[in-house]
Amino acid sequence: MLEDTTLKLKKTLQRGLWSLGYHVGSFPPVDSLAYHLKLLLSRLEIDCVIDVGAHDGEFARFLRDLGYQGEIVSFEPVKATFERLCAAFAGDPHWRGLNVALGTESGVRTMNIYAGSVFNSFLPPSEFGRARFDDLACPVRSEAVMVRRLEDIIDEHFATGRTPRVFLKMDTQGWDLQVLEGAGRRLDAIIALQTEVSVKPIYDEMTGFAEAIRRIGELGFELTGMFPVARDRDQLRLVELDCVMMRSPGGA
């Protein structure tokens, strides 16, 4: 009887909160990226996160808040942004950063810099991107940045001892496939990944959603979750989403 009364009270309270625009539930919510990553990192025994397109370190701090205590290596090519990233990981002995971009070939490339810095990209914005996101309509400047291959980075930083179980997070504004393809023969170290893909490309020459998933699938990864990142101005149609993928059975 007490259980029934408690359940009725919970439902009444929840309906009252819904009417005010609030929801009370478990944290993180079971259908959220936070819950999904917390579960995935634990079950796959991930001990190294390679954070590509780290910006100011938001994703790494997000993982720390989820309880992940393993190694994080963040990559941010833009000098001013990298300086902010350095301040973010100062004091965390298991988080470090490199002031380089990743791609299929080592060298120097020109990065387009935009107001707010979250849209910085090697690619030019599309007509849709400029219309949807005001910052993309106003490039601030360009900057020459160093590009390395992920294959070489793994060789250098994990030259001795065990091979890490890597979760590769990519948020490079249209450049994610180039990052992954640069893993070359060290692709085997990547147990799972997160990639930001576009349903409506906001940059010219970027790979669309379906093609990106197909190509990553051909490298031996399967979808485990999809989470909206941005929508069109009507707040309904998807523009970008984060896709989390893991190695197919027998591939890790």
Query: What is the arithmetic mean of pLDDT over 226-238?
Result: 95
Tell me what pLDDT residue 122 has.
Answer: 95
Say how far apart CA 195 and CA 243 lie, in whole Å.
5
Tell me what pLDDT residue 156 has.
Answer: 87
47 within some domain: yes
Residues whose CB is less than 8 angstroms from the CB of residue 90 and which lie 6 or more positions away in sequence, other chains included? none
Residue 208: closest CA among 183, 241, 233, 252 = 241
Tell me what pLDDT residue 17 has.
Answer: 54
Asked if residue 212 has pLDDT above 80, the reply is: yes
The CATH number given to whatever domain includes residue 193 is 3.40.50.150
76 within some domain: yes
Please give the residue range of the domain that contains residue 183: 31-103+148-247
155 within some domain: yes
What does each C-alpha distance from 94 to 59, 91, 183, 191, 193 come to in angstroms?
Answer: 15, 9, 22, 20, 20
Say how far apart CA 92 and CA 69 lie, in whole Å.
10
- Rg (the chain; Cα; Å): 20
Q: Which amino acid is at 122?
A: F
| Coil, helix or strand at residue 64 | helix
Total domains, the chain:
1
Asked if residue 25 has pLDDT above 60, the reply is: no
Residues whose CB is less than 8 angstroms from the CB of residue 41 and which lie 6 or more positions away in sequence, other chains included? 49, 63, 66, 68, 70, 167
Tell me what pLDDT residue 115 has.
Answer: 87
pLDDT digits (tens, 9 = 90+) for 119-149: 999 999 999 999 999 999 888 899 999 999 9
125 within some domain: no
176 within some domain: yes
200 within some domain: yes
Query: What is the arithmetic mean of pLDDT over 107-125?
Result: 93
Tell me what pLDDT residue 42 has.
Answer: 97
79 within some domain: yes
Mean pLDDT check: name the lowest of 26-30, 82-86, 218-222, 232-236: 26-30
Asked if residue 219 has pLDDT above 80, the reply is: yes
Asked if residue 246 has pLDDT above 90, the reply is: yes
134 within some domain: no
Q: Number of C-alpha atoms within 13 angstroms, CB side, residue 193?
A: 28
Residues whose CB is less than 8 angstroms from the CB of residue 47 and which lie 6 or more positions away in sequence, other chains included? 70, 71, 164, 165
Pairing of strands 71-75, 101-102: unpaired
Tell me what pLDDT residue 164 has.
Answer: 87
Tell me what pLDDT residue 249 has.
Answer: 82
Tell me what pLDDT residue 139 has.
Answer: 84
Query: What is the arithmetic mean of pLDDT over 218-247?
Result: 96
Q: Is the separation of the CB atoms in 240 and 199 below 8 Å?
A: yes
- The overall average pLDDT reported for the chain is 90
